Amino acid sequence: MPHVEAGMRVGLFGGSFNPPHAGHVLVSEIALRRIGLQQLWWMVTPGNPLKDHGNLAGLEERVTHSQQLVDDPRIKVTAFEAAYGLRYTAETLAFIKKRHPSIHFVWIMGADNLAGFHRWQNWRGIATTFPIAVIDRPGSTLSYLSAPAAKTFARARLDESDARALPTARPPAWTFIHGPRSTLSSTALRAARAETD
């Protein structure tokens, strides 16, 4: 895990990063700026349990490509989940909380993930472990109104103008942050690459 000091405000951005792209960087920049984070960890996962692993690049390759893409020193690329045998987000966040109880963590997710968040293992547990920042993505802007998880935790939603209060808010607490959106997606990039191979 990246080095942190007590009291720091740190974003956790997990995903396959298969491949990483400028859209991931944009989400990270928005989170860093709007929430006032001091670090943001790209947690490159061994593989999403809800996705097909047939076209999943190797972990080392995805980490290397992520490191090559990132030039903000506040963004730390890590793959510690594989080292500790962590498979699900809920267990990863519980592990992080136990290891770093003095850090103000925020789970970062793209709005495209919010629509299916209720299908994640122990999604309610995730929402009560750390505050969550949902960053706008193309085609998902209204997910904060319609997603089952958004409806379940409607009373816990902070206005995005209060996003800087999120790291120290008691979970469940979440906000939806509007901003510039990238149309890039890992799925589309893999499809385009497959067509040229």
Give CA angle at 122 (45, 10), nearest 5°.
50
Tell me what pLDDT residue 53 has: 55
In percent, the amount of the chain with pLDDT more than 90 equals 75
User: Other C-beta atoms within 10 Å of 17: how many?
Assistant: 23
Q: What confidence score (pLDDT) does residue 47 get?
A: 78
Residue 51: per-residue pLDDT: 63
In the predicted model, residues of the chain with pLDDT beneath 50 are 186, 189-192, 194
pLDDT for 189 equals 47
pLDDT tens-digit series, residues 136-156 = 977 767 777 889 999 999 999
Q: How confident is the model at residue 179, as a pLDDT? A: 82
Please report the pLDDT score of residue 190 as a whole number: 46
The answer to whether the beta carbons of residues 92 and 43 sit under 8 Å apart is: yes
End-to-end CA distance of the chain: 36
